[in-house]
Amino acid sequence: MSTMIAISGLTKTYEGGFQALKTVDLDIREGEIFALLGPNGAGKTTLISIVCGLVNASSGRVAVGGHDIVRDYRRARALIGLVPQELTTEAFESVWNAVSFSRGLFGKPADPARIERILRDLSLWDKRDNRIMTLSGGMKRRLLIAKALSHEPRVLFLDEPTAGVDVELRRDMWQLVRGLQADGVTVILTTHYIEEAEEMADRIGVISRGEIILVEDKATLMHKLGRKQLSVHLQEPLAAVPATLGTWALERSDDGQTLTYTYDAERHERGIGDLLNALSAAGIAYKDVNTTQSSLEDIFVSLVREKA
Amino acid sequence: MNLYAIRAIYRFEMARAWRTLTQSIISPVISTSLYFVVFGAAIGSRIPEVEGVSYGSFIVPGLMMLSLLTQSLSNASFGIYFPRFTGTIYEVLSAPVSYLEIAVSYVGAAATKSLILGVIILATAALFVPIRIEHPLWMVMFLVLTAVTFSLLGFIIGIWADGFEKLQLVPLLVVTPLAFLGGTFYSIKMLPPLWQTVTLFNPVVYLVSGFRWSFYGISDVSPAISLGMTLLFLLTCIAIVAWIFRTGYRLKP
């Protein structure tokens, strides 16, 4: 898969000395859904703003579709649609005019049929002649998406798309994103909701304090997450795991008090019941068992804390 | 050149003018009509002719300039400040448009509005006093140059301002006094010699004088100097706008 967005050595220090980004290197592949995960103030919006041309980078380079965002900004930006975090809209304009305006702004000739389709897809068609100020918050969010899609972008940035959004709109939005992906559009979404990243993304990047601290395929990440551990606390310490239990790949703690079995909760190849029976059969008595599962949340929190 | 973008912004701004018709067209026309009633009819009848032109007619070019200046400023400054204030400017800044295109669209729309206004005021004035235009081409030239120059100045103010107060500050404290003291209602030849000299530092004097010359062939300073000063002012504004865009001042952190 080819690279859609290439970010290398990107830094940003705001006037006043706040370092929002410390050397970010990141490649986003064409056609993928990439979730940028991070706590508030981690640098998600700064990163997006630089790629979209809203903020000047302090150093480093970004190319979108092979076009440098500074030297070849016209071609780079024509590929990008941006749905900002804040509901910033032209209060007095009609929905139709606002979306048509966006298309023109990005250098595309008028195409009423396409605008109609976008508005219908986003359930805005009935509101097309309404002034934007009369729309609900959810409708305004839809409008911002319609504006971002009006010029047929190849890359769509969704900055905190589901902040303050109801279940229905959230579902519609994911459906839309999947539809865009089917058309080959690259989607980058930022979020601090982990479930959102889990649900949507092909790859997940974690950003904290201006640094990308992890980029991984969701499948790989989920595999790690899907694993559970069973800890068996023994009555008597064991010097070694008995040979009869060799097929279970048990880990013995240093003090010999605990045996740990790591298994894939999704697959249920061999249940924990079997293991406990095998332990009894081997004459090993235990006083307690407990299972743990590392969640993306845990990984995330530990990653973020580690770097803090 | 992203012509679709220029057209989109221009249309958007013009649509805003139609939505705010009362504010952008009707109120300046009413206030100008009041000037005619007060200065033209009531007081003007007691003021002798100025260089062979009746006082009511004499003030027409100055009044047009006064409206043109203030309206160009407020149109252009509001046009760019409001999207900054609401945050919708993000879209323009992230679009594949050059700064030149952004400036041309906003300033073009603001200038168009004030030109329409100027013509309406001229038509209104013609109802009250006799008007003749000796140099129509030059008149249009001065009108366009002034509208563009002050729209540019308004654009600069709209980018510089970080609150509605500042948006009003320059028009109120600088431009309105300069416009009133710039020979709008009088010929600067009526002033004592010292003040005639002081007045020459007021850029509006050159605009009004040149504009009045295009109507009646009378002027306080020579039309060539008027034109030169207007162009100088225009170039200064263009230079400031170019600097703003090169540095991203107040637009891009």
Distance from CA of B151 to the nearest CA of A (A): 21
In a domain, B38, yes or no: yes
Average pLDDT of A136-148?
91
Task: Say if residue B5's pLDDT is above 90.
Answer: yes
Number of domains in chain B: 1
The pLDDT value recorded for residue A181 is 92
The CATH number of the structural domain formed by A223-295 is 3.30.70.1560
User: Regarding predicted confidence, which is higher, B61 or B45?
Assistant: B61
Q: Which of B15, B95, B252 sits opposite A56 (nearest CB)?
A: B252
Q: Are A109 and B4 within 8 A, CB to CB?
A: yes
A contact residues 134-193, partner B, Cβ 8 Å cutoff = 147
Q: Where are the domains of chain A?
A: 1-79+154-168+177-209, 89-152, 223-295
Radius of gyration of chain B (CA): 19
Question: What distance in Å separates the CA atoms of residue A93 and residue A74, rounded to the nearest whole number?
Answer: 26
The pLDDT value recorded for residue A295 is 64
In this structure, what token pair is assigned to residue B138? 């030059």
In a domain, B252, yes or no: no
For B214, the 3-state DSSP assignment is: helix
Task: Say if residue B170's pLDDT is above 90.
Answer: no
For B134, the 3-state DSSP assignment is: coil
Task: Say if residue A32's pLDDT is above 90.
Answer: yes
Task: Say if residue B41's pLDDT is above 80.
Answer: no
Nearest to A35 by CA among A253, A179, A201: A201
Task: Say if residue A231's pLDDT is above 60.
Answer: yes
DSSP element (H, E) containing B102: helix B99-128
pLDDT, tens digit, 9 for 90 and up, residues A255-305:
888 888 887 766 556 677 888 888 888 888 888 988 877 666 666 776 667
Q: How far is CA A190 from the centre of its chain?
A: 6
In which domain, by residue range, is B41 found?
A: 3-247
The CATH architecture annotation of domain A1-79+154-168+177-209 reads 3-Layer(aba) Sandwich (3.40)
The reply to whether A55 touches chain B by the CB within 8 Å rule is: yes
Number of H helices, E strands in chain B: 12, 0
Q: Are A90 and B90 within 8 A, CB to CB?
A: no
In this structure, what token pair is assigned to residue A234? 């023994």
Is residue A133 classed exposed, middle or buried when 0-12, 13-18 and 19+ CB atoms within 10 A define those classes? exposed
Mean pLDDT of chain A: 87
The pLDDT value recorded for residue A307 is 59
Question: What distance in Å separates the CA atoms of residue A209 and residue A213, rounded to the nearest whole number?
Answer: 9
In A, which residues are within 8 Å of B83 by CB distance?
A: 90
User: Regarding predicted confidence, which is higher, A250 or B133?
Assistant: B133
In this structure, what token pair is assigned to residue A204? 């997940």
User: What pTM value is reported for the model?
Assistant: 0.82
Question: What distance in Å separates the CA atoms of residue A32 and residue A201, rounded to the nearest whole number?
Answer: 8
pLDDT, tens digit, 9 for 90 and up, residues B199-215:
888 888 998 999 999 99
- Kindly give the interhelix angle for B136-160 and B99-128, rounded to the nearest 10 degrees: 130
Distance from CA of B200 to the nearest CA of A (A): 41
The pLDDT value recorded for residue A20 is 93
The pLDDT value recorded for residue A7 is 95
The pLDDT value recorded for residue A198 is 78
Q: Which DSSP symbol is given to B49?
A: P
Average pLDDT of A141-160?
94
In this structure, what token pair is assigned to residue A84? 């900002």
Average pLDDT of B33-58?
81
Average pLDDT of A63-81?
94
The pLDDT value recorded for residue B7 is 93
Q: How many CB pairs under 8 A join A and B?
A: 81
